[in-house]
Amino acid sequence: MRCDVDFGSPIETDDSWHGARSSLSDQHIDAIAFPVGDAALELLRERPARWLVMMLKEVCSRIIRSGGVSSCYVGKYRKAYVTLNLVLNEHFVIMGDGKEDRAARKGAIAPAFRPRLPLARMPKGRERDLSNDSQVIDLHFFHCLGQRRCMGDDNAIAALSGRQFDFDAAARFATVGGSTATKLQKLGLTEAPGIGFCRLGATVLRLPSDAKLRDRLVNNLAGVETQLSVRCRTNGADLAGWAELLQAGEALKKLDIELTGRNLRDMHVLMFGHSNTRSDSVLRKYRSAREWVGE
């Protein structure tokens, strides 16, 4: 099936960041080179994370509607998918405590929890391109989080060890680095959750148990919120936020990580995005939520 990679009309959305209609236009997409360079990333860095996630969701929907990955993961769609993910990786760890900094990073969830394209078990052709690109996105995410530990692989060391992320070395590692288990071992992520729990946040470079845990936590989120709504009698309670904290706490338990306020906040950020809540407040809210569900 032939895929038309021309976006046609721009992707539009209400943009609360600028207070006006905005779009991911053909001009933006045409300027994105592949492999991605700094000039391409700069086009989207000024956008807040919430806008980038909406655009990523739209790109995924258009690829699926137009024939799927095997037909349409090419050209502008491929460039947009990769670049939006890379800028979201940067937003995930954006520094600063100003109002604009907080607004920019809000909603910058980890790669595994973003809108994403389905990955084939035995990828070939454009599906293999998606698999390799997803590994590069994961590696870039690790680099943004400060992961530098690599063992015995020149490409992985070149990709992660420098101040600037090496896209070419990361692409070589994705292509020739071996199986997922071998790559995790080379990255030092086979046993430990990794800095910032990055292994759980990866789309491809994670253990099968991480994928199962992630899917279960996300799929059960609505049920946890319903359970809270039945039992909670507090007017104005943030049931959705409490449900998220309960699932973040469940992730810590399953990964055998100490349930502290800092760890709970970091896990919540990984799964659901940044908030302005302090670690001690997060832990108090979590304990309150547990009381309401009878734990």
Output the pLDDT for position 200. 83
Say if CB 175 and CB 162 are below 8 A apart: no
Please report the pLDDT score of residue 4 as a whole number.
41
pTM score > 0.85 for this model?
no
* Beta-bridge partners for 20: 15
Q: What local confidence, expressed as pLDDT, does residue 76 receive?
A: 84
- Report pLDDT for 293: 73
Q: What is the mean pLDDT of each run of 10 residues along the chain (295 residues)?
A: 40 41 51 58 82 92 92 89 92 64 73 90 87 93 86 87 87 86 85 67 87 86 86 72 90 87 86 75 87 72
- Report DSSP letters for 73-134, one per residue: -SHHHHHHHHHHHHHHHHHHT----SHHHHHHHTT---GGGS--PPPPSS--THHHHHHHHH
Structure-block tokens of residue 65: 């509607």
Cα of 120 vs its chain's centroid, Å: 19
| Residue-level pLDDT at 81 | 93
**What pLDDT is attached to residue 106?**
74
